Amino acid sequence: MTPGSGDEATRAAGGPARHVPVLLDEVLEALAPRAGSHILDGTFGAGGYTRALLAAAETRVIALDRDPTAIANGQELVAASAGRLTLVKTRFSRLDEVVEDLGLDGLDGVTLDIGVSSMQLDEAIRGFSFRNDGPLDMRMENAGPSAADLVNEASEERLADILYYYGEERLARKIARALVNDRKAKPFTSTRQLAELVGRLVPHKPTEIHPATRTFQALRIAVNDELGELVSALVAAEKALKPGGRLAVVTFHSLEDRIVKQFFAARSGRGQARSRLLPGEPVPPPPTFDLVGRQPVAPGEEETKRNPRARSAKLRTGERNETPARGADDAIRALAALPDHERKGR
């Protein structure tokens, strides 16, 4: 853990930031940073949200990132900080453990910007994108099994499930079958090799996004357990936030947004008619969050013109109340899981 604090809102950690924080003004409005408050940025990246939080008020920020490159690049911001920033290399699913390790009695705010950053996409060696050829890696932490390991070793059924459920790829089984067949002759080792295979299999027009986009998204999510991490982070934030503390989550595709939406719905009691229960029907637990404003908040036309990445972004915000945290929720965890074929007897 490294203490420090922010300087100007326009400075980037280690130089000009390529990653533009999405819905920044809306996130700041949701979190309402103030002097003396403790706010956690669970996805430090290039430091966009962190820098803005530090510039908005004399707040203290704890920033997390599982990517060692982001942590290394953040040291300039840390060094200039006068003790208001703590930068930690860890997964945001462990944010409650970080708060406990720091000896804090709770947080006044948590923000999460879900998904891969522009910095990671721009670095061919990381293997997140097929824009430039690179090793088929996709690991945010540079540790553990890579996308190449998954593509070359997983069963056809598991690959098909990953592509269908995490990439929403209609031709998942066709692609999985081709992957298993082609890897017998030559293992998949590069992003271009994989992209070319998918491009041959999936019909598309030159004006459409490359058909391999969904496959790359699915493999990245699987390699980094992104949806499972998101579920755990939401539960950890519920535990770490003080009453009145706010959780602001920015998502970029339907899989993430569905989890956040259903988490807040379950934790706020939305759609529950507690006074109209049937005989013997269990009483739902009391809400732990109150929803803040209209949900979701989307970027305006000006932001989407300035930053095309913002087009699919959605912000959802909840405010913690006095009710004790519930902990893990099997119904929400199920949204992040692939089908268990063995349990179903298939």
DSSP labels, 137-184 = ---SSS-S--HHHHHHHS-HHHHHHIIIIIH--TTHHHHHHHHHHHTT
Running DSSP on this structure, what letter comes out for residue 206?
A: T
On whether both 219 and 236 belong to a single domain, the answer is no
CB 5 within 8 A of CB 54: yes
On whether both 232 and 311 belong to a single domain, the answer is yes
Closest CA to 114 of 66, 56, 163, 77: 66
Distance (Å, whole) CA 20 – CA 22 = 6
Report the DSSP beta bridge partners of residue 62.
40, 86
Name the helix (H) or strand (E) containing 318. Answer: strand 314-320
Running DSSP on this structure, what letter comes out for residue 309?
A: G
> Three-state DSSP class for 207?
coil
On whether both 218 and 231 belong to a single domain, the answer is no
> Three-state DSSP class for 112?
strand
Q: What is the pLDDT of residue 129?
A: 61
Q: What is the pLDDT of residue 130?
A: 61
Q: What is the pLDDT of residue 280?
A: 67
Q: What is the pLDDT of residue 133?
A: 83
Report the DSSP beta bridge partners of residue 40.
62, 110
On whether both 187 and 232 belong to a single domain, the answer is no
Q: What is the pLDDT of residue 120?
A: 45
Q: What is the pLDDT of residue 16?
A: 38
CB 120 within 8 A of CB 67: yes
On whether both 110 and 134 belong to a single domain, the answer is no
Q: What is the pLDDT of residue 131?
A: 66
On whether both 6 and 113 belong to a single domain, the answer is yes
Domain carrying residue 93? 2-118+227-334
On whether both 114 and 10 belong to a single domain, the answer is yes
- Number of neighbouring beta carbons within 10 Å of residue 133: 14
Report the DSSP beta bridge partners of residue 218.
none
On whether both 213 and 290 belong to a single domain, the answer is no
Residues in the chain with pLDDT values less than 70: 1-19, 115-131, 271-278, 280-281, 341-346
Handedness of CA 131, 137, 138, 141 (dihedral sign): negative
Q: What is the pLDDT of residue 5?
A: 34
Residue keyed to tokens 């061919």: 124
Closest CA to 58 of 33, 81, 41: 33
On whether both 200 and 144 belong to a single domain, the answer is yes
CATH of the domain at 48: 3.40.50.150
As for how many domains the chain has, the answer is: 2
Residue keyed to tokens 């939401």: 234
Please indicate, yes or no, if residue 310 is contained in any of the structural domains. yes
Q: Residue count of the chain, please give it.
A: 346
Please calculate the CA angle 45-296-219 and round it to the nearest 5 degrees: 45
